[in-house]
Amino acid sequence: MVAQAHTAQQSAALLELRNIQKWFGGVHALRGIDLTLQPGEAYHLLGENGCGKSTVIKIMSGAHPPTSGEIVLGGQTFSSLTPIQSLAAGIETVYQDLSLLPNLTVAENVALNEQLVNANGRLARLFDRKRLRETAARALAAVGLPTDRAFLNTIVSDLPLASCQLVAIARAIATRAKLVIMDEPTTSLTRREVDNLIRVVERLRSENVAVLFVTHKLDECYRIGGHAVVFRDGQCVAQGPIENYSKKELAELMTGRSIDAQRYRTSKPSEVVLLKVDHLVTDGVRGTSFSVKKGEILGITGLADSGRNELAMALTGVVPAAGGTMTLDNKIISVRSPARAIEQGIGYVPEDRLAEGLFLDKSIFENEIALIVSRLANSFGVVDRDKGREIAARLSEEMRLNTKNLDLAVGALSGGNQQRVLIGRWLSIAPKLLVLHGPTVGVDVGSKDTIYRVIQALAESGMGLILVSDDLPELLQNTDRILVMNSGRIVAELDAAQATEDQLYKAMLANTTETVQ
Amino acid sequence: MNASRTGELDGGAGPSRSFSFGELVRRRPETITFLLLVAICTSVAIANPAFLQPSTLIDIGRASVVMGLFALGVFIILAAGGIDVSFTAIAAFTMYSMTVLVQSYLPNLPIVVIILMATLGGAALGIVNGLLVHHLKVPSLIVTIGTQYLFRGFLLSFIGTVWIMSLPPQMGAFGRMPLFQIESGNGALITLPFYFLVLPIAAGVTWWILNRTLMGRAIFAVGGNADIASRLGYSLRTVHVFLFGYAGALAGLAGIIHVCANRQANPFDLVGTEINVIAAVVLGGARITGGTGTVLGTILGVLLIVVINSVLVMVGIPSTWQRLVVGSFILLAAAFFVTRQRRK
> What pLDDT, on the 0 to 100 scale, is given for residue B11?
37
Q: Which of A264, A300, A305 is nearest to A284 (CA)?
A: A305
Q: Out of B232, B238, B242, whose CB is closest to A113?
A: B232
- Kindly report, residue by residue over A47-101, the tens digit of the pLDDT: 876 688 888 999 999 988 999 999 998 888 999 998 888 988 889 988 877 889 9
pLDDT band, very low/low/confident/very high, at B301 (cuts 50, 70, 90): very high
Find how far residue A190's CA is from the centre of its chain.
17
Q: Is the CB of residue A150 less than 8 Å away from at least one CB of chain B?
A: no
A100/B214 Cβ within 8 A = no
Percent of chain B with pLDDT over 90: 50
* DSSP one-letter code for A143: T
B230/A83 Cβ within 8 A = yes
Across chain B, mean pLDDT equals 86
Q: How far apart are CA A1 and CA B131, in angstroms?
A: 51
A84/B233 Cβ within 8 A = yes
Question: How many other CB atoms are found less than 10 A from the CB of residue B52?
Answer: 11
Q: A380 Cβ partners below 8 Å, 6+ apart?
A: none
Q: How far apart are CA B55 and CA B183, in angstroms?
A: 9
Q: How far apart are CA B26 and CA B32, in angstroms?
A: 10
List the domain boundaries for chain B: 54-318
A113/B217 Cβ within 8 A = no
Q: Out of A97, A103, A122, whose CB is closest to B224?
A: A103
Tell me if ipTM is over 0.90: no
Percent of chain A with pLDDT over 90: 23
Q: Is the CB of residue B24 less than 8 Å away from at least one CB of chain A?
A: no
Q: Which of B100, B241, B67 is nearest to B171 (CA)?
A: B100
Which option is the CATH number for B54-318: 1.10.287, 1.25.40, 3.40.50, 1.10.3470?
Answer: 1.10.3470
| End-to-end Cα distance, chain A | 64
> What pLDDT, on the 0 to 100 scale, is given for residue A514?
42
CA of A63 vs chain B CAs: smallest distance (Å): 6
pLDDT at A438 over 70: yes
Q: How far apart are CA A92 and CA A183, in angstroms?
A: 11
**Cross-strand pairs, B189:** B183
Residue A29 φ/ψ region, left for φ over 0, alpha for ψ in the -120 to 50 degree band, beta for the rest: alpha
pLDDT at B123 over 90: yes
pLDDT band, very low/low/confident/very high, at B136 (cuts 50, 70, 90): very high
The region of weakest confidence among A109-113, B79-83, B182-186 is B182-186
B212/A127 Cβ within 8 A = yes
Higher pLDDT pick, B18 / A477:
A477
Higher pLDDT pick, A263 / B115:
B115
Q: Out of A82, A103, A108, whose CB is closest to B291?
A: A103
Across chain A, mean pLDDT equals 83
Q: How far apart are CA B288 and CA A366, in angstroms?
A: 30
Average pLDDT rounded to a whole number, residues A276-288:
88
**Cross-strand pairs, A29:** none
pLDDT at A3 over 70: no
Give the up-direction half-sphere exposure of residue A56: CA atoms within 13 A in the CB hemisphere.
38
Q: Is the CB of residue B18 less than 8 Å away from at least one CB of chain A?
A: no
Average pLDDT rounded to a whole number, residues A393-422:
79
Task: Pick the residue from chain A with its C-alpha nearest to B235.
Answer: A121
The three-state secondary structure class of A325 is: strand
Question: How many other CB atoms are found less than 10 A from the CB of residue A332?
Answer: 10
Q: Is the CB of residue B176 less than 8 Å away from at least one CB of chain A?
A: no
Q: Is the CB of residue B285 less than 8 Å away from at least one CB of chain A?
A: no
Task: Pick the residue from chain B with its C-alpha nearest to A124.
Answer: B215
Which residues 50-79 on chain A approach chain B with CB closer than 8 angstroms? 61, 63
> What pLDDT, on the 0 to 100 scale, is given for residue B340?
57
Q: How far apart are CA A245 and CA A438, in angstroms?
A: 30
CA of A104 vs chain B CAs: smallest distance (Å): 7
Long-range Cβ contact pairs of B205-209 (< 8 A, separation 24 or more): B206/B72, B206/B75, B206/B76, B206/B295, B207/B295, B207/B296, B209/B76, B209/B246
Q: How many CB pairs under 8 A join A and B?
A: 79
The DSSP bridge pattern shows strands A227-232 and A42-46 to be parallel
Q: A470 Cβ partners below 8 Å, 6+ apart?
A: A301, A302, A303, A304, A438
Q: How far apart are CA B151 and CA B169, in angstroms?
A: 27
Q: Which of A449, A447, A443, A440 is nearest to A472 (CA)?
A: A440
> What pLDDT, on the 0 to 100 scale, is given for residue A298?
94
Average pLDDT rounded to a whole number, residues A371-389:
77
- Kindly report, residue by residue over B205-234, the tens digit of the pLDDT: 999 999 999 999 999 999 999 989 998 889
Task: Pick the residue from chain A with its C-alpha nearest to B234.
Answer: A121
The one-letter amino acid code at A262 reads Q
Q: pTM score, two decimals?
A: 0.72
pLDDT at B90 over 80: yes
> What pLDDT, on the 0 to 100 scale, is given for residue A5?
41
- Kindly report, residue by residue over A31-42, the tens digit of the pLDDT: 899 999 999 999
Interface test with A, best of B232, B235, B236, B337 (most A CBs within 10 A): B232
A112/B231 Cβ within 8 A = no
Q: Is the CB of residue A411 less than 8 Å away from at least one CB of chain B?
A: no
> What pLDDT, on the 0 to 100 scale, is given for residue B157?
93
CA of B195 vs chain A CAs: smallest distance (Å): 28
Q: How far apart are CA A296 and CA B35, in angstroms?
A: 63
B224/A123 Cβ within 8 A = no
Which residues 101-130 on chain A approach chain B with CB closer than 8 angstroms? 101-104, 108, 112-113, 115-117, 119, 121-127
pLDDT band, very low/low/confident/very high, at A445 (cuts 50, 70, 90): low
pLDDT band, very low/low/confident/very high, at A293 (cuts 50, 70, 90): very high
> What pLDDT, on the 0 to 100 scale, is given for residue B294?
93
> What pLDDT, on the 0 to 100 scale, is given for residue A511?
61
> What pLDDT, on the 0 to 100 scale, is given for residue B15?
37
- Kindly report, residue by residue over A382-402, the tens digit of the pLDDT: 877 788 888 888 888 877 777
Task: Pick the residue from chain B with its C-alpha nearest to A62.
Answer: B231
pLDDT at A10 over 60: no
Q: How far apart are CA A164 and CA B263, in angstroms?
A: 56
pLDDT at A282 over 70: yes
Question: How many other CB atoms are found less than 10 A from the CB of residue B86?
Answer: 29
The DSSP bridge pattern shows strands A15-24 and A68-73 to be antiparallel
Question: How many other CB atoms are found less than 10 A from the CB of residue A336?
Answer: 10
pLDDT at B18 over 50: no
Task: Pick the residue from chain B with its C-alpha nearest to A153.
Answer: B27
- Residue numbers in B near A155 (CB within 8 A): 27
pLDDT at A141 over 60: yes
Higher pLDDT pick, B205 / A324:
B205
- Kindly report, residue by residue over B151-195, the tens digit of the pLDDT: 999 999 999 889 888 889 999 899 888 888 887 767 778 888 999
Task: Pick the residue from chain A with its C-alpha nearest to B341.
Answer: A158
